[in-house]
Amino acid sequence: MAAEALFRPFSCKSLHLKNRIVMAPMTRSFSPGGVPTPDVAGYYRRRAEAEVGLILSEGTGVARPASLNDPNVPNFHGEQSLAGWKQVIDAVHAGGGQMAPQLWHVGSVRNPMTTWVAPPPVDSPSGMSSPGKRFTEPMTDEAIADTLAAFGRAAADAKRLGFDAVEIHGAHGYLIDQFFWGGVNQRSDRYGGATIAERARFGAEVVKSIRSAVGEDFAILLRLSQWKQQDFSVKLAHTPQEMEAWLTPLVEAGTDILHCSQRRFWEPEFEGSELNFAGWARKLTGKPTITVGSVGLTGEFTESLSKGTSSKPASLDNLLHRLEREEFDLVAVGRALLADPQWARKIHEGRNHELSDFSKEALASLS
């Protein structure tokens, strides 16, 4: 099937994309001391030059002491880090692309890959990372207010540096998602509650803080997932009604595009319909959505990282049918673009026989 549907333009507020291909945010840990290097700028520029419509940066930390759990992940605050990011966005624009930083706070998730520990306090709704395992104090009101302000400042800096939009990382069991998840959000104040609508408040306030910092015309993307790295089987929304209760306050707060993270994009979200998460999010909110998860590859990403299983190029037909039917608007591609900067161009030119496998070795350098 021809990939034309992927190469139609798309606009939303400050974003004017030449096609529907989005580079998924991927942590690379090549920014020593939190500062993106010229190699990082070159890595993103190569994807921009080879027809990726929108690049989402690797997760980048907002200004809280423990927003990150790896000293080689970039910050999005501080003079040196922001100067590094300025080089990145200028390189991406020179390559003909557009880019949004993914603003991140890891919450209470620890990183087994490093012995480095961020300065305290650990931020989380109830001092847990997984249900029932409390190891620290819940966030105070002051810490919450400071975190909301930090997201707003980072977004204002992104706009000032020339980025085209911002993405908020509200997925995968990190801070914002910890507030959504009743298993680890046991607060009895306004940030907790028995319903997903109540637990959406913190995420909605992050969006509002960013909206007031960037104005009406700057696009805000929000990445969400049902699954958590702590437990793949968790669902925040068991029915379309619950999903609507979750997403509506986030959209009303100012989200423009919902980035719906699945590990396999073709899996239906609810029984009785083929629609995936991005499909339901679009139908329920009327907002544009991004799908993601094993696009163009045979295996899914958590297994390829944890077990080192390699993935082979796979057909795009199912994805293209769904895009044609307008189930979603944009398509994020992770490992296929990490392994091959030319992936989008090869798809456009029908050079599918030149596509490469993904194996964990691709993580060793910024090619």
Ligand X SMILES: Cc1cc2nc3c(=O)[nH]c(=O)nc-3n(C[C@H](O)[C@H](O)[C@H](O)COP(=O)(O)O)c2cc1C
Active site residues: 174
Kindly tell me which residue out of 26, 149, 161, 314 binds ligand X, with binding defined by CB under 6 A. 26
Q: Residue 161's closest CA among 86, 75, 79, 56?
A: 86
20 binds ligand X (CB under 6 A): no
Q: Torsion-angle region of residue 142: left (phi > 0), alpha (psi -120 to 50) or beta?
A: alpha
169 binds ligand X (CB under 6 A): yes
Residues between 314 and 333 with contacts to ligand X, criterion CB under 6 A: 333
294 binds ligand X (CB under 6 A): yes
Q: Residue 106 and residue 59: Cα distance in Å, rounded?
A: 9
Q: Which of the stretches 118-126, 133-141, 155-163, 165-173 binds ligand X when contact is defined by CB under 6 A?
A: 165-173
**What is the smallest separation between the CB atom of 216 and ligand X, expressed in angstroms?**
25
Q: Residue 81 and residue 2: Cα distance in Å, rounded?
A: 41
301 binds ligand X (CB under 6 A): yes
Q: Residue 73's closest CA among 130, 23, 35, 24?
A: 35
Q: Residue 85 and residue 66: Cα distance in Å, rounded?
A: 20
Q: Residue 55's closest CA among 38, 40, 37?
A: 40
102 binds ligand X (CB under 6 A): yes
34 binds ligand X (CB under 6 A): no
Q: Residue 304 and residue 191: Cα distance in Å, rounded?
A: 35
Q: Which of the stretches 20-28, 79-87, 205-213, 315-323 binds ligand X when contact is defined by CB under 6 A?
A: 20-28
**What is the smallest separation between the CB atom of 187 and ligand X, expressed in angstroms?**
24
> Which CB, 197 or 362, lies closer to ligand X?
362
Look-up: residue for tokens 């305290």? 120
59 binds ligand X (CB under 6 A): yes
295 binds ligand X (CB under 6 A): yes
x-or-dash pattern for ligand X, window 245-264, by CB under 6 A?
----------------x---
**Total chain residues near ligand X (CB under 6 A):** 25
**100: its two tokens:** 């949004």
334 binds ligand X (CB under 6 A): yes
The 3-state secondary structure of 21-83, one letter per residue: EEECCCCCCCCHHHCCCHHHHHHHHHHHHCCCCEEEEEEEECCCCCCCCCCCCCECCCHHHHH
335 binds ligand X (CB under 6 A): yes
27 binds ligand X (CB under 6 A): yes
Q: Residue 168's closest CA among 77, 101, 68?
A: 101
Applying CB under 6 A, the residues found at the interface with ligand X are 24-27, 58-59, 102, 169, 171-172, 223, 261, 292-295, 297, 300-301, 305, 333-336, 363
